[in-house]
Amino acid sequence: MSESWPAPAKLNLFLHIIGRRADGYHLLQTVFQFLDYGDSLAFESRPGGQVSRAEGPRDLPEADDLCVRAARLLLQETGLREGVRLRLRKRLPMGGGLGGGSSDAATVLVALNALWRAGLTTDDLAQLGLRLGADVPVFVHGFAAWAEGVGERLTPLPDLPVPWYAVVRPTVAIATAELFADPKLTRDCVPLTIRDFLSGAGGNVFEPVARARYPAVAQVLDALSAYAPARLTGTGACVFAAFADEASARDALRALPGEWSGFVARGCNTSPLQDRLRRMSVDEGAA
């Protein structure tokens, strides 16, 4: 039915908590930037109403898979009688702070909306996505952004520097909910402005608690810091550092102990998903 569609990773270039909602959810300030690296999805047409998964993470039941949930949500919202079999090629570690599950869901919403000509606007899709996870809207919109609220109030940042990043994955699984519940977590950061961030302010409030709970995270942060300032993305476990060129990022990655996996990727201020969507529109226009 279709060629593959990218579901890129994100980094949180900084991540602060400035308060809490009445329901206990934390109010954040963060900057999202995409990477030209991630999962990919292909879609095969199926009889009306059927949504299934051909491949996918083995330890993730089909009904819980955010891709499957996103396709079902789109059918439910639009009342369309389409069916689809999803082929997810997973490259991003689950629960790595790279937003893989949210990105997969956003790609399903954006791609199927286009392939099925469902006619929902980007804002409609972002609102639908928010029901699946706080990080889905930024992947739907596809622009690097300053984010507030739980991550859904977005201001585009089209001119961020686009360095090469070394991203390293400590061999540990972090439970997001546990870190958010940690009594030592700083929850009262003074709100920053975009200008403060662009002048170098801001860190990741989860770093001290992740360091304390997961020695492997502390080891990776310290090891990567020998090459460039290293930071946690999201609630971790992945750690990243920026480099001026690809070779320097690869050298740093190579120099780290072999037990940690990682990759090198370029930062992007427009998501590869948006590029793919535009390519489809151009191809259709030419046909």
Ligand X SMILES: Nc1ncnc2c1ncn2[C@@H]1O[C@H](COP(=O)(O)OP(=O)(O)O)[C@@H](O)[C@H]1O
Stretch 227-256 residues interacting with ligand X (CB under 6 A): 234
Q: How far apart are CA 216 and CA 256, in angstroms?
A: 13
DSSP element (H, E) containing 286: helix 272-286
Q: Which does 12 bind (CB under 5 to 8 A by kind): ligand X, ligand SUD, none?
A: ligand SUD
**Spatial contact of 138 and 10, defined as CB atoms under 8 Å apart:** yes
Q: How many CB atoms lie within 10 A of CB 204?
A: 21
User: Please, which residue, 86 or 248, has the CB nearer to ligand X?
Assistant: 86
Residue with Cβ nearer ligand SUD (113 or 235): 235
Catalytic residue status for 10: yes
- Residue number closest to ligand SUD, CB atom: 234
Q: How far is the CB of 285 from ligand SUD (least distance, A)?
A: 35
Identify the DSSP state of 190: P
**Chain center to CA of 119:** 25
Instruction: Select 138 or 268, whichever has its Cβ closest to ligand X.
Output: 138
| Closest alpha carbon to 33 in 151, 138, 106, 111 | 138
Q: What DSSP assignment string belongs to 60-111?
A: S-GGG-HHHHHHHHHHHHH----EEEEEEE--SPTTSSS-HHHHHHHHHHHH
List, as residue ranges, the binding site. Answer: 93-103
End-to-end CA distance of the chain, in Å? Answer: 17
Residue 184 falls in the annotated catalytic set: no
Is 16 or 69 the residue whose CB approaches ligand X more closely? 69
Q: Per CB under 6 A, does 151 bind ligand X?
A: no
Q: Which of 38, 96, 142, 170 binds ligand X (CB under 6 A)?
A: 96
Cα 252 to Cα 239: distance, rounded to the nearest angstrom = 13
Q: How far is the CB of 133 from ligand X (least distance, A)?
A: 7
Euclidean distance between CA atoms 137 and 134, whole angstroms = 7
To the nearest whole angstrom, how small is the minimum distance from the Cβ of residue 233 to ligand X?
8
Tell me how far, at minimum, the Cβ of 103 lies from ligand X, in Å. Answer: 7
Q: In angstroms, give the least distance from the CB of 24 to ligand X.
A: 18
Residue in 100, 129, 151, 163 binding ligand X, rule: CB under 6 A: 100
Choose from ligand X, ligand SUD, none: what does 111 bind? Cβ within 5-8 Å by kind: none
**Residue numbers belonging to the annotated binding site for ATP:** 93-103
Helix axes 100-115, 66-78, angle to 10 degrees: 40
Contact residue for ligand X among 28, 31, 67, 160 (CB under 6 A): 67
Task: Answer for the pair 147, 30: CB distance below 8 angstroms, yes or no.
Answer: yes
What is the C-alpha separation between 68 and 55, in angstroms, rounded? 11
Residues that bind ligand SUD (CB under 6 A): 12, 15, 24-26, 28, 30, 97, 99, 133-135, 150-151, 176-177, 180, 234-235
Q: Choose the one of ligand X, ligand SUD, none that binds residue 60, judging by a C-beta under 5 to 8 angstroms depending on kind.
A: ligand X
Residues that bind ligand X (CB under 6 A): 57, 60, 64-67, 92, 94-102, 104, 176, 234
Residues labelled as active-site residues: 10, 135
